[in-house]
Amino acid sequence: MAPTFFLLLVIEHGSRFNGFQAMRIRDVCRLEVPHRHAGFVEAALRACGEQTTRNPGVSVDSVASILESAGRSFPLITIHCEAVDPEVCYIGRFLGLEQGRVRLREIDTDANWHPEDSSYRLRDITRIDFGGHYEKALDLVAKSSQVQTKRS
């Protein structure tokens, strides 16, 4: 937790870990800590053999530090600019920061890389996700497609 952002370890309803979310503190209306079923959830995760790191090595000091540290540790990140468009997110490989913007090589829902890099204003970013099942699946399919393309 930092002054502006905090990091959550996401646990889906099936008692499986599903990555991390860095969220702005000011966007949270209600938070129950610990969750009223925390004991059951922890027991279910152990019983199901679910293990993950509680500390992914991501700095939540600023949007820039989250993007840089998550971009180094995870192949794909998802950014949300909910104040601009709450229905859209952008998934891609972190390329860098320039003049208050993040550069991504985006990937589409079929695991195809966009031909051009994209950039988004840091001040518009409200949430950053990484290490989740969907990001992992996109990365695996994209890598598999590259291998198959090279063999052809």
Predicted confidence (pLDDT) per residue in 32-88, tens digit: 888 888 889 889 888 988 887 777 899 999 999 999 999 999 999 999 999 999 999
Contact 21, 89 (CB under 8 A): no
Average pLDDT across the chain, whole number = 91
Select from 45, 3, 48 the least CA-distant residue to 25: 3
| SS3 state at 102 | strand
Contact 4, 24 (CB under 8 A): yes
Least confident of 84-98, 103-117, 138-152: 138-152
- Cβ neighbors of 134 (< 8 A, separation 6 or more) are 78, 91
Dist. CA 107–CA 93, nearest whole Å: 8
User: Looking at residue 152, what is its pLDDT?
Assistant: 47
- Under the phi-then-psi rule, with left for phi > 0, alpha for psi from -120 to 50, and beta for the rest, what region is 96? left
Query: Computed from CA positions of residues 104, 107, 113, 118, in that sequence, does the dihedral angle turn out positive or negative?
Result: negative
Ranges of H-type helices in the chain? 38-47, 63-73, 133-151
Fold of 5-151: SH3 type barrels. (2.30.30)
Q: What is the pTM of this model?
A: 0.88
Predicted confidence (pLDDT) per residue in 121-135, tens digit: 999 999 999 999 999
Select from 40, 36, 46, 126 the least CA-distant residue to 90: 126
Predicted confidence (pLDDT) per residue in 20-33, tens digit: 999 999 998 888 88
